Amino acid sequence: MNTPIESTGAPRRVLVTGGSRGIGAATALRCAQQGWDVAVNYARDAQAAEAVCAQVRALGRQALAVQADVADEAQVLAMFDTIDRTLGPIGALVNNAGVVAENQRVADMTVQRLQRIFNTNVVGSFVCAREAVRRMSTLHASPQARAAGGGRGGAIVNLSSKAAVLGAPGWYVDYAASKGAIDTFTVGLARELALEGIRVNGVRPGIVDTDIHASGGWPDRAHTSSALIPMQRPGRPDEVAAAIAWLLSDDASYTTGATLDVAGGR
């Protein structure tokens, strides 16, 4: 087990959205190893989220599985309320929940597809960050959050994608554009919160071996696309999780507004 890093004062509680699988699950476990209690958000698969929580508890930390579709504001508000009452105000947020659709040219995309992608990947990240800031800000935390031990700063990590830089032509330009919005969001929010005790950074994974590719209609993409990657292999979820955990830690205390590529050189 990794040695926990001493906190500067923010609660050692992290919410990982989309934490029941892939990069989210690996991040939940990495955070637990580094001394965080973890709220594991999931949209549908309660069993998978509970399995991650069991692993977190086995590492000696508290864990809570909490359901919410991050594209639905009411569900996000209910999720944060549950976390507040059960674990206490969070000191960190990992905006990991995201969706992709099957490969398609822009000329064939429907408005419904675009709304689903942007409502989850962009609006969901904004709303989750908004609620986290209301609990973490040293200047603007709500009285309720302060009374419960919040208002002591914290950290946010937003999950982007290397597609934001490459554009993903012929695959999913909509997904790439949503992640480009996350890159801009990360810079803007970091500068907005720089004097409120909250650091905001991003991680931009490349092709990683997770099951998100199946939802995009290409389940074996991570391995069949290895030739596109200078390191000639897909990444592992734990490799991305390590970067996220570092950005959350006090070792990154002077890092804000940055987005770190974890993409095998792509």
CATH of the domain at 134: 3.40.50.720
If one compares 215 and 23, the residue with the highest pLDDT of the two is 23
Overall average pLDDT of the 207-220 stretch: 64
pLDDT tens readout for residues 83-132: 999 999 999 999 999 999 999 999 999 999 999 999 999 999 999 999 99
Residue 138 forms part of a structural domain: yes
Q: Catalytic residue among 42, 172, 175, 254, which?
A: 175
Q: Is the pLDDT of residue 14 over 80?
A: yes
CB 125 within 8 A of CB 185: yes
Residue 19 forms part of a structural domain: yes
Overall average pLDDT of the 163-175 stretch: 96
Residue 91 forms part of a structural domain: yes
Residue 5 forms part of a structural domain: no
Q: Is the pLDDT of residue 1 over 50?
A: no
Residue 1 forms part of a structural domain: no
The fraction of the chain above a pLDDT of 70, given in percent, is 92
Residue 72 — φ and ψ, nearest 5°? -110, 110
Cβ neighbours of residue 52 closer than 8 Å, sequence gap 6 or more? 19, 20, 25, 28, 29, 40, 63, 65
Mean pLDDT computed over every residue of the chain? 93
pLDDT at 7: 42
Residue 54 forms part of a structural domain: yes
Residue 6 forms part of a structural domain: no
Q: What is the tally of structural domains in the chain?
A: 1
pLDDT tens readout for residues 36-68: 999 999 999 999 999 999 999 999 999 999 999
Overall average pLDDT of the 130-135 stretch: 98
Whole domain around residue 126: which residue ranges?
A: 13-262
Residue 94 forms part of a structural domain: yes
Q: Is the pLDDT of residue 215 over 70?
A: no
Q: At 9, is the pLDDT very low, low, confident or very high (cuts 50, 70, 90)?
A: confident
At position 87, the amino acid (one-letter code) is L
pLDDT at 212: 57
Q: Is 175 a catalytic residue?
A: yes
Question: In angstroms, how far apart are the furthest CA atoms of the chain?
Answer: 54
